[in-house]
Amino acid sequence: KAGVTQTPRYLIKTRGQQVTLSCSPISGHRSVSWYQQTPGQGLQFLFEYFSETQRNKGNFPGRFSGRQFSNSRSEMNVSTLELGDSALYLCASAVEAGAQETQYFGPGTRLLVL
Amino acid sequence: KQEVTQIPAALSVPEGENLVLNCSFTDSAIYNLQWFRQDPGKGLTSLLLIQSSQREQTSGRLNASLDKSSGRSTLYIAASQPGDSATYLCAVYPNDYKLSFGAGTTVTVRA
């Protein structure tokens, strides 16, 4: 079974631009979560989607948004990029939403904002 | 707000030695605790998931314990190998359903 895939793997943007990241979950998984990883803040939860609905949201500004499609693929968008948005963005999928499920992570998208 | 702490931040051991990694959390109201491994520049690999009702989980050379009342979990890796070199992260799934991660312990196993 193919794992979680994320595209693109690397991205360079300039301040003020916007960016869209994509995540394809493991086949059969309906829950997708997004995380931001930086050296200073570590891994922080962004949001979780299940069956096309945002189930939960972390403490990030409204510039960070996401959505999930009917095939469970998810996209994350960051508008008006700031230097501090430079990070590794990870998505994870699970069979169902809920605390019983193991999260399977993708390789991440490394975003550099100049 | 749930806070997860991992001590030590870094660990270096000779090959063959057993590894003991610690994780503590401030709010014992959790659904589960997971241990992950992260190789440099890569995503996370799930190692073990312990439900809140369980005391421990084992997989091969890995054993993780959970003591909810004291807010602690320990990951044991027996007979360490150079391939075990990585950053190990613990994460708790609290009542607000937002997975909270520790900063990780970076392990180096010397051949």
Task: State the Cα–Cα distance between residues B22 and A35, nearest whole angstrom.
Answer: 23
Work out the mean pLDDT of chain B and round it to a whole number: 93
Say whether pLDDT at A98 is over 80.
no
In this predicted structure, which of A36-40, B21-25, B31-35, B95-99 has the lowest mean pLDDT? B95-99
* Average pLDDT over every residue of A84-98: 90
Rounded mean pLDDT, A36-63: 92
pLDDT at A97 over 90: no
pLDDT band at B82 (very low <50, low <70, confident <90, very high): very high
User: For residue B92, which residues of chain A lie inside 8 Å, CB to CB?
Assistant: none
Site from A21, A35, A43 to mutate, B interface, most B CB atoms within 10 angstroms: A43
Give per-residue pLDDT as tens, B22-55: 999 998 888 889 999 999 888 899 999 998 899 9
Give the tokens for residue A12. Answer: 């360079």
**How many whole angstroms separate alpha carbon A52 and alpha carbon A57?**
14
Gap between the terminal Cα atoms of chain B:
41
**Is B44 at the interface with chain A, CB within 8 A?**
yes
